[in-house]
């Protein structure tokens, strides 16, 4: 929007929580420039389908890979941009690795790389042929420079990324087992297809009866368990209203996901005993919810 673009919101696949490629294609108009899939929770979106659509309809693909550092599909790491023009990572403190704040843009396109480098540095372009001091501000930009200190922090953690993701995978697998007895009430997060590596940034469960979510959230928070809701649907935010965001009720899969979902704690260092406690508080909270909603 800050570059004059108008977002078109499209619904998710109700099984994966990721963008529905058919819905994305249906939203493409002659004015469309780019499709922006999020790899929600760390599960790679269906880039095969999106890349095929993008090629046929002549639009670019920009991956919002904020959740998916360390994820891969077959031999292709998310961020390798094998099927997109660009991918972004976030290094916010809750992410797989952190630089405090900040992130990274990845692309295999030299021209795009140069434009991003210029933008992050106030639109400054240097012309050494006219003197090593000489530069011009050729376009609007920003100060989006990550400090060297922050980069050092991130690079040190990058060495342990595989271990961190493996630990998250172990935590997710343990939750999957601990949740087996809750099949009447709880839908577990989607499993990655064979050959796909999930980054498990989030472990999102959904309640078969969404009306219990509020009570369960309240009870688990009261017991000191840091559950969260991901996310309030983007098209509900007032900032998008002047840009033609669709009204509430118009993206049914997205809204159903929001109403039913709860993210359980997942982070390196979370022990199996912690997880047993999370699930026992979940059990108690579901019992309280069923009494309150009688």
Binding site for ligand PLP (CB under 6 A): 38, 64, 66-67, 90, 92, 103
- DSSP readout, 108-174? S-HHHHHHHHHHHBTTEEE-GGG-TT-EEE-S---B-PPPHHHHHHHHHHHTTHHHHHHHHHHHHHH
At its nearest, how many Å lie between ligand PLP and the CB of residue 207? 22
* Cβ closest to ligand PLP, residue 34 vs residue 137: 34
Q: Which of 55, 95, 125, 188 is catalytic?
A: 95
* Cβ closest to ligand PLP, residue 66 vs residue 264: 66
Residue with smallest beta-carbon separation from ligand PLP: 90
Judge contact between 11 and 20, C-beta under 8 A. yes
* Cβ closest to ligand PLP, residue 67 vs residue 198: 67
H/E run at residue 263: strand 261-264
* Cβ closest to ligand PLP, residue 92 vs residue 248: 92
Count of Cβ atoms closer than 10 Å to residue 280 Cβ: 12
At its nearest, how many Å lie between ligand PLP and the CB of residue 145? 14
At its nearest, how many Å lie between ligand PLP and the CB of residue 236? 16
- 29 by Cβ neighbours in 10 Å (0-12 / 13-18 / 19+) ranks as exposed
At its nearest, how many Å lie between ligand PLP and the CB of residue 66? 3
- DSSP readout, 48-113? HHHHHHHHHHT-EEEEE-TT-TT-EETTEETTS-SSSSEEEEE--TTSSS--SS-EEEE-S-HHHH
Tokens of 210: 């969404």
* Cβ closest to ligand PLP, residue 10 vs residue 178: 10
Tokens of 137: 């501000």
- DSSP readout, 158-224? HTTHHHHHHHHHHHHHHHHHHTGGGTTTEEPPPPPPTTEEP--S-EEEEESSGGGHHHHHHHHHHTT
Residues constituting the chain: 294
H/E run at residue 34: strand 34-35
* Cβ closest to ligand PLP, residue 92 vs residue 155: 92
Judge contact between 266 and 203, C-beta under 8 A. yes
At its nearest, how many Å lie between ligand PLP and the CB of residue 177? 27
At its nearest, how many Å lie between ligand PLP and the CB of residue 99? 9
Is 95 in the active site?
Answer: yes
User: Which residues does the annotation mark as catalytic?
Assistant: 95
């Amino acid at each position: 929007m800050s570059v004059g673009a108008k977002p078109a919101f499209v619904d998710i696949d109700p099984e994966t929580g990721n963008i529905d490629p058919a819905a994305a294609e249906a939203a493409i108009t002659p004015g469309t420039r780019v499709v922006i899939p999020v790899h929600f929770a760390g599960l790679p979106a269906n880039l095969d389908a999106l890349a095929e659509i993008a090629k046929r309809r002549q639009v670019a693909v920009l991956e919002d890979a904020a959740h998916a550092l360390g994820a891969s599909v077959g031999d292709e790491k998310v961020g390798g941009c094998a099927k997109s023009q660009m991918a972004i990572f976030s290094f916010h403190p809750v992410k797989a690795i952190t630089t405090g704040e900040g992130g990274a843009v990845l692309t295999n396109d030299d021209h795009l790389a140069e434009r991003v480098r210029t933008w992050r540095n106030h639109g400054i372009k240097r012309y050494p042929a006219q003197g090593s001091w000489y530069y011009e501000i050729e376009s609007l930009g920003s100060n989006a420079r990550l400090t060297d200190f922050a980069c050092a922090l991130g690079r040190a953690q990058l060495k342990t990324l595989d271990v961190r993701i493996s630990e998250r995978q172990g935590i997710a697998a343990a939750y999957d087992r601990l949740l087996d007895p809750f099949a009447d009430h709880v839908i577990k997060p989607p499993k990655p297809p064979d050959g796909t590596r999930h980054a498990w940034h989030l472990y999102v469960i959904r309640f078969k009866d969404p009306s219990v979510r509020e009570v369960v959230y309240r009870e688990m928070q009261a017991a000191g368990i840091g559950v969260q809701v991901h996310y309030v649907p983007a098209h509900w935010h007032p900032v998008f209203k002047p840009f033609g965001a669709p009204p509430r009720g118009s993206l049914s899969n997205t809204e159903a996901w929001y109403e039913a979902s709860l993210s359980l704690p997942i982070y390196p260092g979370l022990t199996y005993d912690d997880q047993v406690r999370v699930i026992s508080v979940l059990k108690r909270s579901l019992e309280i919810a069923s009494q309150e909603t009688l």
